[in-house]
Homo-oligomer: A and B are copies of this chain.
Amino acid sequence: MHLIIDTDTAGDDVVSLLLALHTPWVSIVGITINCGNVAFDYQVANALKTIEVAGKAGQVPVYPGARNPLLRPWVNAAYVHGEDGMGEAWYPPVSQTPESEHAVAFLLEASRRYAGDLVIVAQAPLTNLALAVRQDPEFAHRVSHLWVMGGSANAVGNIEPLSEYNFYVDPEAAAIVFQAHFNMTMVGWDVCLESSVLNDADLAEIERLDTPLSRFFLQTQRKTREFNRTQGILGTTHPDSLTMAMALDPTILTKSAPYFVTIETQGLHTRGTSVVDRLGDLGHEPNARVSLQANGTRFKRILMDMLATGSTPIAPPSGGIR
């Protein structure tokens, strides 16, 4: 599987990268960085650091992309993940450096090179993908499948009452991506909240592992865990990792349905809200598969195994990815 990960590397983005990097049959052709969680250059450094921790320094190129949302001022989430996005570990720079090619140019070029055999996991605001779509409408059709962490099947938000962070940060970009006719799956915050939380018992188990990966995990997730407690969530949240796990092992997505989804760009209190037309009120053709339920138990098992052994227990797809 040829995979591109579009990420605002901080907090759970790191874990998601680890999952992909420790699945041997996955070929990560590139990691693209989008403005989001923390200051842009930290995000780039965090992706490079994570590649090094996974023992793949220099083997996976990192392409810096959009430093700002299309239209809106950038809204960060450093209050969630710590200022450096790594639980304030303040890791020193690694030796690998980012590519000079822009993420959007890379996305377009890679989509031609691997046309029909390219999976993208998007776990950040969607600026890079929107720019690629607008520069080449055929881009969407050359991508085999796009997995998007963002929105919610039922308007459960995490930055405003009905709005999830990734879509909130760049609602216009999200709207463009949902209009682009991708073969895509939206993994919303609602499903992630239900099936991707590691609770105190899980985290205690990870502490007992005491491997280099488990220690890296605990360090980088430290601030998120503290923040979650203030929100009434006891544990760490792993929306990006759950999305990645689904992309690698689609059986984790246990329930979904094709719906028409539109992204609110004009609301006063609903900026970036994903409007999922579950009853068909709007009369449009579905444009996305929407996740409704996940196998959280299997997700946790995969994550734990990876942290314990340095390898996810996911078998390569026999017939390939839809």
Contacts and interface: CB of A to CB of B under 8 A. Distances in A.
Contacts of A176: 70-71
A94 interface: no
A277 interface: yes
Interface string A19-34: 0000000000000000
Contacts of A279: 157-158, 161, 231-232
A131 B277 CA distance: 30
Contacts of A267: 264, 266-268, 270, 273
9 contacts: A67-B137, A70-B176, A162-B162, A162-B275, A264-B270, A267-B267, A267-B270, A267-B273, A273-B273
Interface in A113-141: 127, 130-131, 134-137
A225 to B, nearest CB: 17
A148 interface: no
Given A137-B68, A270-B275, A160 B282 contact: yes
A136 B128 CA distance: 12
A281 B156 contact: no
B134 A70 contact: yes
Contacts of A158: 279
Contacts of A276: 161
Interface of A: 66-68, 70-71, 102, 104-105, 127, 130-131, 134-137, 154-162, 172, 175-176, 231-232, 262, 264-270, 273, 275-279, 281-282
Nearest to A160: B281
B277 A161 contact: yes
A179 B151 CA distance: 27
Contacts of A262: 269
A265 to B, nearest CB: 7
Given A134-B127, A172-B172, A161 B282 contact: yes
B266 A135 contact: no
Given A161-B281, A262-B269, A135 B275 contact: no
Contacts of A68: 134, 137
A231 B279 CA distance: 7
A124 to B, nearest CB: 15
A26 to B, nearest CB: 28
A19 B165 CA distance: 45
A279 B228 CA distance: 12
Given A154-B155, A155-B162, A268 B278 contact: no
A270 B278 CA distance: 14
Contact of A135 (B102, B137, B231): B102
A286 B311 CA distance: 48
A267 B172 CA distance: 14
Nearest to A266: B268
